[in-house]
Amino acid sequence: MDLLLLLPFLIPAAGSLFVRTLGQSATEKTVSKISLLSASLHGITTATLFSALVFGSRLSARIPIFAWGDDIFRISLNLDYAGILLLVLISFFFGIVVRFSRTYLHREKRIAHYFSVLQVFASGMSLVALADNLETFFIGWEMVGIASFLLIAFYRDRANPIRQAVKVFSIYRLCDVGLLISVLIEHNLGSDFKFSTLRTLIDSQQNFVVTGSHVIALLLILASVGKSAQFPFTFWLPRAMEGPTPSSAIFYGALSVHAGVFLLFRTSVIWSQIPALPWIVGAIGIVTAVLATGIARVQSTIKGQIAYASATQVGLMFVELALGWDYLALFHMTANALFRCYQLLVSPSAAAYLLELQAKGKFSTVSGFSSESWLPDRLRKSLFVFSIREGFLEELVSAIFFRPLILCGGWTRKPLFLWFSSLGLLGTLCWTMLFRVSPPFPWLISLIGLGISLRAFSAPVPNLTMSVLMASGSNFLLALAAVDHLSFQGLHELMPFLIGVLLLTLAFIPATRIATADRRETAIFFIILGLIGFPITPVFFGEDLVMDFVFHKDSFALAAFVMGFIINGIALITVYANCVMPNKEMSHEGILERIR
């Protein structure tokens, strides 16, 4: 009975795999029927779970899927009222959007791809709803992220959707690191907590707050802020509206954008314990709400306006959470998801509706009066420009994060870097071989690894294989540097990770030579997925292990490893974007241009 909890995750996942396996050969009818079946089964399961909960059964499941020494990675699920609420929403939207898209995407060439990704999304969201620990939550979270990337880049004959998809992915990557590290920290603390027993755990363990929970809490907030498009990342939300309208509706109107709120709700016991953090959450919410509402006011495209309006409401939910009104936040989340999804689905009607109101003089467009008109002229115009420039959020994030990376990336393109890194590597290798001890400057290797990673990220390289090699190589070095200062024992421990990276990298070369475009793309996709450390791939577990080693030992190597994780992820997804794009003139740089 407890295993019933797995079904909302398994059904769409199986449906997605099925659709993907059928690939191009499947007719539109088959594909949409499988998806409809998957949505109905998902609905039935949800209804069953709901009645089970109402009739008082306590369902929970813990499935160990990976063990390394005493380190156990578990899928842990639990059914509670908040979870079932989100699950009902997922079922509802999943059903509606599948029904909607069956007709709406009729005759679209890549309809199989669309339905496959849509089901990955439903599957990931269900995991988010039912997860009882951070590991499980993270798996769902990443599935949502990658599905989001794939549907923004749904139309590939134009450059813009791909650029925006890479941009959104970069921001996800940056923020998801928060969740990843908190998963790993939590894991390495050995606390093995469950959301359902968190409160009792905290009450019993007086020292919980001391042992790193403030870091976890901050990181969790970072993750929520990214996924829910809060300050300073709000700008990605309107730009994500490049896919077919129903996909925009379910992702950015309904579910994905509210996932951050749900994460904060789930972990509110952790962060609300720490005095400063509710203030931070509230401040982020307030700032976003005020900024985004101002920006929404000047948006003159319908989807852009809905995006900012939705971000405003999510900001208010953050405030509600910060005030401790958790259930109001959940209610608000539900209502906003329903409303925004509807709004996006009917957005093509706006022209007919508003034009008619206007023709009948029932819609004051001529006066131009608005609540801003009482402001002094100069202030009003400044505010207007500020809003038109979307609060300079994109520039802010660029200046803090992307620009420094690109700047550093520029240095790695100089020949000096090549000499420096070759000599450094060679020297370290000789030292280790000769003296059988760790080299005196382990940070040197981290630095070189990071450099190579930046090189893969920022520069146009001769070919894509080269980029993948560099990203993997830097992963290698960063892991080596992190593990026990490059001793051979460390190497031994790291074997699964290193072999995983090696195999995937080697597989990339034949994969790019597969003749059928569809299969080539699928192969490359799974390889890239493995290399970026998608949950439950060897690389992911390798990362877990690396973290195990460095935690508490070498903060520089840890920081370098984490940076490398982010940068390599972006570099690799850019490689993927380049692989699938028929548009040859769009260069690596052209894509990167967007995230500056």
Partner 1 sequence: MIQTGAHPLFQSPFQEPKEIEVEHLVEALSHWLPAQGPIKNFVHHNTLHAYQNLPFSEAVKVASQTYGARAYLPIDRYQTLYRTGRIKTSDLDWTLSRFEPSPEKRSILKAKMLTSESSPSPPSLAENGLRSHWLKKYGIDLNLRVHPLLFRLLSQYFDQGIAVWRIPHSSEGFFATIYDLVAESAVPLGVLSQPTALNLFELGPVRSIEAVLNEIVGDRTYWLRYLCELALSHPGWSGVVRQVELSPADLVVKRPIRLLELLAVELIAEYCVLESELGKVPLITEPVKSELTSPTGFQAWTSTEDLLFQQIWHEAFEAGYLSDLFLELRKASDQRPQPARDTPRFQVLFCIDDRECSLRRHLESMDPGIETVGVAGYFAVDCVFQGAEDTTPSKHCPVHIHPKHLIKETLPEKSLLRLKKKEPALHPDSNTMIRGWLISQSYGFTAAMKLFISMFKPSLKPPFASSLSKLQEGSNLVVFNQTDQNKDGDYQLGYTTEEMADRVQALFKSSGIRSENLSAFVVLVGHGASSVNNPYFSAYECGACSGKSGSANARAFAMMANDQSVRDLLKLRGYVIPNTTVFISALHDTTRDELRYFVDVELTPESKSRFEELKNYFGQALELNAHERIRKFESLDPKMSPEKALNAVRLRSVALFEPRPELNHATNSVCIVARRAMTKMLNFNRRAFLHSYDPTADPTGEILGSILNAVIPVCGGINLEYFFSAIDPSVYGSGSKLSHNIVGLVGVANGVEGDLLTGLPTQMTELHEPLRLSFVVEQEPEVALQALTLNIHTFEWVKNQWVRYFAISPSTGEIFEFRDQQMIQFQPPKGQ
Per CB under 8 A, contacts with partner 1 among 31-60 are none
CA atoms within 13 A on the CB side of 379: 5
- Of residues 109 through 168, those in contact with partner 1 by CB under 8 A are 154-155, 157-158, 160-161, 164
Which amino acid does the sequence have at 510? P
Our CB check for partner 1 shows the closer of 213 and 312 to be: 312
Query: Three-class SS of residue 66?
Result: strand
**Contact present, 99 and 87 (Cβ < 8 Å):** no
Among 358, 463, 516, 583, contact with partner 1 (rule: CB under 8 A): 358
Our CB check for partner 1 shows the closer of 99 and 403 to be: 99
Binding-site size for partner 1 (CB under 8 A) equals 101
Which amino acid does the sequence have at 148? S
Rounded to an integer, what distance in angstroms lies between the CA atom of residue 357 and that of residue 352?
9
Residue 522 tokens read as 């699928």
Q: Mark the segment that binds partner 1 (CB under 8 A) among 76-84, 90-98, 479-487, 496-504.
A: 90-98
Among 68, 81, 327, 363, contact with partner 1 (rule: CB under 8 A): 363
**Contact present, 154 and 98 (Cβ < 8 Å):** no
Shortest distance (Å) from residue 165 CB to partner 1: 11
Q: Tell me the CA distances in angstroms from 342 to 236, 332, 338, 346, 347, one per residue in order.
A: 21, 15, 6, 6, 8
Q: Mark the segment that binds partner 1 (CB under 8 A) among 8-16, 59-67, 92-100, 432-440.
A: 92-100
Among 3, 67, 355, 400, contact with partner 1 (rule: CB under 8 A): 355
Which amino acid does the sequence have at 344? L
Among 348, 404, 427, 510, contact with partner 1 (rule: CB under 8 A): 348
Shortest distance (Å) from residue 593 CB to partner 1: 6
Shortest distance (Å) from residue 219 CB to partner 1: 29
Our CB check for partner 1 shows the closer of 302 and 479 to be: 302
Our CB check for partner 1 shows the closer of 191 and 245 to be: 245
Rounded to an integer, what distance in angstroms lies between the CA atom of residue 15 and that of residue 43?
14
Among 370, 415, 489, 513, contact with partner 1 (rule: CB under 8 A): 370
Shortest distance (Å) from residue 474 CB to partner 1: 25
489 binds partner 1 (CB under 8 A): no
Among 276, 351, 416, 517, contact with partner 1 (rule: CB under 8 A): 351
Running DSSP on this structure, what letter comes out for residue 249?
Answer: I
Our CB check for partner 1 shows the closer of 1 and 359 to be: 359
Q: Mark the segment that binds partner 1 (CB under 8 A) among 99-107, 121-129, 212-220, 559-567.
A: 99-107
Rounded to an integer, what distance in angstroms lies between the CA atom of residue 229 and that of residue 310?
10
Which amino acid does the sequence have at 340? R
C-alpha closest to that of 342 among 253, 470, 271: 253
Our CB check for partner 1 shows the closer of 513 and 584 to be: 584
488 binds partner 1 (CB under 8 A): no
CA atoms within 13 A on the CB side of 353: 7
Residue 409 tokens read as 């990336």
Our CB check for partner 1 shows the closer of 176 and 320 to be: 320
Rounded to an integer, what distance in angstroms lies between the CA atom of residue 53 and that of residue 59?
8
Shortest distance (Å) from residue 594 CB to partner 1: 7
**Contact present, 544 and 536 (Cβ < 8 Å):** no
Rounded to an integer, what distance in angstroms lies between the CA atom of residue 319 and that of residue 306?
20
- Of residues 288 through 347, those in contact with partner 1 by CB under 8 A are 289-290, 293, 296-309, 312-313, 316, 331-332, 334-343, 345-347
381 binds partner 1 (CB under 8 A): yes
Our CB check for partner 1 shows the closer of 185 and 341 to be: 341
C-alpha closest to that of 13 among 132, 110, 109, 94: 94
Chain-centroid distance, C-alpha 236: 12
- Of residues 237 through 296, those in contact with partner 1 by CB under 8 A are 238-239, 241-246, 248, 289-290, 293, 296
Q: What element of type H or E holds 280?
A: helix 277-298
Our CB check for partner 1 shows the closer of 197 and 382 to be: 382
Q: What element of type H or E holds 72?
A: strand 71-78
